[in-house]
């Protein structure tokens, strides 16, 4: 029967951050993940906060920290160290990022020609953060047969957009890359794997170069510049094409997968034990605390005991919260009390705008990240809640999801500390099985 200092449930940004903090401090930590988290769906940058006005992520996060019930109200102090450590780990993993908490939030173009602000991007996307020179144009280069990068549409939108400090002109081109005609289900992953092949890409660069008109251009391409050999591909792309940056689009997101892979590798290199494909099927409780979890291993349930548990299951998108008919939400592992606006206000306002109150739903916690009930009492002593599972933030409107994940994961690691070795209790326990969802 495995017993650990700590068990993290959930393998997204918050769970991996908590797991890394614990593993790096020498704790025996296991991470149970149902799948690949939301890695395929995210853009791969790190969004700390954006109020639309603040000049930097730090300023925007400070504004959010003054909102009652916002996770940053508790986490603000952890943010600088959390971001610094995340950037260090990613650089160590060979996936360096540029920018930081105090870097200016810059307008960057999206694959459909929208604009959003960003301050921390992987090197593959970061060139877009550089100031636009007076004679510099933006060239969007799409790939024939790849359906989810809309160079012409995006260029027309961007040409008409109010883009403060943006490029002098926007132009679109589509190139035919070798070998794609035979392929089916042409996702960004497929193209990224082709770019990993040095022989293939030697034939690709001239074709892309031919699409570049005369003049000075910065080139936006689909986010497909290599998967396992991304750094090598990116360096070569800059040599061959000049300033170039990736623009993420519909899933699967290659930058998101790279981010997830890099953190997973660091976690395992730090001695953490990673178990992917293991959803929690039961909980063994003992006197106001959790003694062990049950996971669905091959053929039979497996008991995983620990002194402390970190819940990093990712809210509604990650499966940590589940909606029930009739406007109720349940927390899917421990059945924790969920704080949520009433169902009639979930979707008030524009469905894709700022009016989606349901964003605020989640688990209310105290400063020690312990889950609280409606009366403010701690529900489970040895459970810490991190990431998008937390209540009170609006990670889409406030663009704070990644920052909350990093800061809460960091804080969980700090709170748990070293050497909380599990005191495997053999006293009376009750196990509740949950239906795997």
Binding site for another protein (CB under 8 A): 38, 41-43, 47, 110-116, 145, 147-148, 150, 152-153, 156-162, 180-181, 184-186, 248-251, 253, 315-317, 319, 322-327, 346-347, 350-353, 356, 396, 399, 401
Of 23 and 36, the one with the shorter C-beta distance to another protein is 36
**Minimum distance from CB of 61 to another protein (Å)?**
17
Of 255 and 272, the one with the shorter C-beta distance to another protein is 255
**Minimum distance from CB of 264 to another protein (Å)?**
20
**C-alpha span between 364 and 321 (Å, rounded):** 13
**C-alpha span between 97 and 299 (Å, rounded):** 42
Q: At what angle do helices 188-196 and 198-210 cross, to 10 degrees?
A: 110
Within a 10 A sphere around the Cβ of 300, how many other Cβ atoms? 7
Of 46 and 379, the one with the shorter C-beta distance to another protein is 46
**Minimum distance from CB of 150 to another protein (Å)?**
4
Of 334 and 395, the one with the shorter C-beta distance to another protein is 395
Q: List own/partner pairs for 364-369 with CB under 8 A and 24 or more apart.
A: 364/69, 364/337, 364/339, 364/391, 364/392, 365/74, 365/390, 366/74, 367/74, 368/415, 369/74, 369/408, 369/411, 369/412, 369/415
**Minimum distance from CB of 380 to another protein (Å)?**
24
Structure tokens belonging to residue 81 = 């160290």
Structure tokens belonging to residue 117 = 């602000």
Q: Put residue 275 in one of left, alpha, beta given phi > 0 → left and psi -120 to 50 → alpha.
A: beta
Q: Tell me if 247 sits within 8 A of 259, measured CB to CB.
A: no
Of 93 and 111, the one with the shorter C-beta distance to another protein is 111
CA–centroid distance for 120 within its chain: 12
Q: What does the radius of gyration of the chain's CA atoms come to, in whole angstroms? A: 23
**Minimum distance from CB of 111 to another protein (Å)?**
6
Q: Tell me if 339 sits within 8 A of 364, measured CB to CB.
A: yes
**Minimum distance from CB of 63 to another protein (Å)?**
20
Of 193 and 345, the one with the shorter C-beta distance to another protein is 345
Within a 10 A sphere around the Cβ of 367, how many other Cβ atoms? 10
**C-alpha span between 295 and 279 (Å, rounded):** 6
**Minimum distance from CB of 393 to another protein (Å)?**
14
Helix, strand, coil shares of the chain, percent, nearest 5, are 30, 25, 45
**Minimum distance from CB of 318 to another protein (Å)?**
8
**Minimum distance from CB of 180 to another protein (Å)?**
8
The angle subtended at Cα 122 by Cα 8 and Cα 402, nearest 5°, is 40
Of 125 and 270, the one with the shorter C-beta distance to another protein is 125
Of 168 and 183, the one with the shorter C-beta distance to another protein is 183
Of 206 and 350, the one with the shorter C-beta distance to another protein is 350
């Amino acid at each position: 029967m495995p017993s650990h200092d700590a068990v993290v449930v959930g393998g997204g940004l918050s769970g991996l951050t908590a797991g890394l903090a614990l593993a790096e401090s020498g704790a025996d930590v296991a991470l149970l993940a149902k799948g690949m988290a939301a890695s395929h769906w995210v853009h791969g940058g790190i969004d700390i906060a954006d109020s639309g006005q603040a000049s930097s992520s730090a300023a925007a996060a400070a504004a959010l920290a003054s909102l009652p019930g916002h996770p940053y109200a508790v986490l603000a102090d952890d943010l600088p160290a959390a971001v610094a450590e995340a950037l260090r780990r990613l650089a160590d993993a060979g996936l360096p990022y540029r920018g930081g908490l105090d870097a200016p939030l810059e307008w960057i173009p999206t694959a459909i020609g929208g604009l959003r602000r960003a301050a921390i991007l992987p090197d593959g996307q970061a060139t877009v953060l550089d100031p636009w020179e007076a004679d510099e144009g933006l060239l969007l280069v799409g790939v024939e047969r790849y359906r989810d990068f809309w160079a012409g549409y995006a260029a027309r939108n961007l040409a008409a957009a109010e883009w403060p400090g943006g490029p002098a002109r926007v132009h679109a081109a589509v190139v035919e890359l070798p070998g794609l005609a035979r392929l089916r289900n042409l996702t960004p992953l497929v193209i990224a794997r082709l770019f990993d092949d040095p022989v293939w890409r030697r034939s690709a660069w001239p074709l892309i170069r031919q699409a570049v008109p005369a003049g000075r251009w910065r080139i936006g391409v689909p986010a497909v510049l290599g998967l396992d050999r991304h750094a090598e591909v990116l360096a070569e792309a800059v040599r061959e094409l000049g300033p170039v940056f990736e623009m993420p689009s519909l899933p699967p997101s290659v930058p998101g997968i790279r981010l997830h892979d890099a953190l997973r590798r660091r976690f395992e290199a730090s001695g953490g034990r990673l178990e992917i494909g293991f959803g929690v099927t039961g909980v063994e409780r003992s006197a106001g605390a959790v003694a062990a979890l049950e996971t669905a291993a091959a053929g039979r349930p497996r008991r995983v005991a620990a002194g402390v548990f970190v819940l990093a299951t990712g809210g509604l998108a990650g499966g940590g919260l589940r909606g029930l008919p009739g406007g109720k939400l349940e927390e899917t592992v421990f059945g924790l009390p969920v704080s949520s606006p009433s169902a009639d206000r979930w979707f008030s306002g524009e469905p894709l705008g700022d009016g989606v109150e349901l964003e605020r739903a989640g688990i209310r916690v105290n400063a020690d990240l312990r889950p609280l009930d409606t009366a403010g009492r701690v529900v489970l002593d040895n459970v810490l809640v991190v990431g998008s599972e937390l209540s009170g933030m609006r990670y889409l409107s406030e663009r704070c999801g990644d920052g909350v994940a990093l800061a809460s994961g960091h804080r969980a690691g700090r709170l748990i500390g070293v050497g909380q070795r599990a005191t495997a209790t053999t006293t009376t326990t009750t196990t509740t099985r949950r239906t795997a969802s």
